[in-house]
Amino acid sequence: MKIRICYHSETRNTRRVAEAMAVELGVTAESVDTAAASIETELLFLGGAVYAIYHGLHPALKSFIDGLEPEKVGRVALFRTGFSDEAIAAMSGLIRAKGIPVETESFGCKGRFLFFSLGHPGKDDLEAARAFARRSPPARKRSARGASPPRAGLARRMPFWPRAGSRCRGPWPSSRR
C-alpha cells in the first residue's frame, strides 16, 4: 500500500508534525515545494496552515492540490497546525472539488508563532499526530501484518528551549527568589 505525507510549512510547525507521522508510518515526509503531485498513491496525508499574509493557504500548497489527479490519488487525510481549522476546510474544499475523497477524520494542533503558543507542537501534539497516522486504514492493515515502522530518528527542534542539564531555566524569570 502506497502512503505519502506531503506538507507546506513556513514556521516548521507543520513539518514537525509531518515528520512525526512519517516516522510512525515508515515513510518520508515531503515538502510540497519539491514533491511531485502526480505520483500514484492510495493514501495521501496532506498538511498545511492558514497564513494571514496570503489570506488563506500558501500558494505552493494550492498549486500542489491543483496538480493532484483523481485517478492517481485514492484518498486524502488532512492535518494542520495553527490557530484554527480554516486550513482543513480550505484544503478539503479544493480536494473534493477535484473529485478526490477526503477522510472524515483530520488532525490539528497549535503551532508556535512569534510569542504565541510557545512549546507547540509539543511532545503531546506529536504523539497525537502519530496516533492519528496509526488510525488511518492503511496503517491499521500494515500493523496487522506485523510490520512495525521505525520510531527512532525524530529530532525535536526547539531552538529556544534549554537543553537537559543546562543551567538556563528558560526565557522567563525563575519563580524561586
Nearest to 70 by CA among 118, 102, 45: 102
Residue 56 is predicted with a pLDDT of 66
In a domain, 134, yes or no: yes
Q: What are phi and psi of 56, to 5 degrees?
A: 145, -145
Q: Domain limits at 89?
A: 3-144
In a domain, 165, yes or no: no
Nearest to 52 by CA among 6, 5, 17, 11: 11
Residue 138 is predicted with a pLDDT of 60
In a domain, 161, yes or no: no
| CA–CA gap between residue 82 and residue 34 (Å, rounded) | 22
Judge if pTM exceeds 0.75. no
Residue 107 is predicted with a pLDDT of 85
Structural domain count of the chain: 1
In a domain, 28, yes or no: yes
Sign, Cα dihedral of 22, 27, 31, 37: negative
In a domain, 116, yes or no: yes
Per-residue pLDDT of the chain (177 residues; tens, 9 = 90+): 799 999 988 777 889 999 999 999 999 999 998 888 778 899 999 998 875 445 568 788 899 999 999 999 999 999 988 766 788 888 899 999 999 999 988 887 766 554 454 555 778 888 888 888 888 766 555 544 444 444 443 334 444 444 455 454 445 454 444
In a domain, 176, yes or no: no
In a domain, 150, yes or no: no
In a domain, 162, yes or no: no
Helix axes 59-67, 86-97, angle to 10 degrees: 30
For residue 106, give the CATH number of its domain.
Answer: 3.40.50.360
Residue 123 is predicted with a pLDDT of 81
| CA–CA gap between residue 43 and residue 115 (Å, rounded) | 35
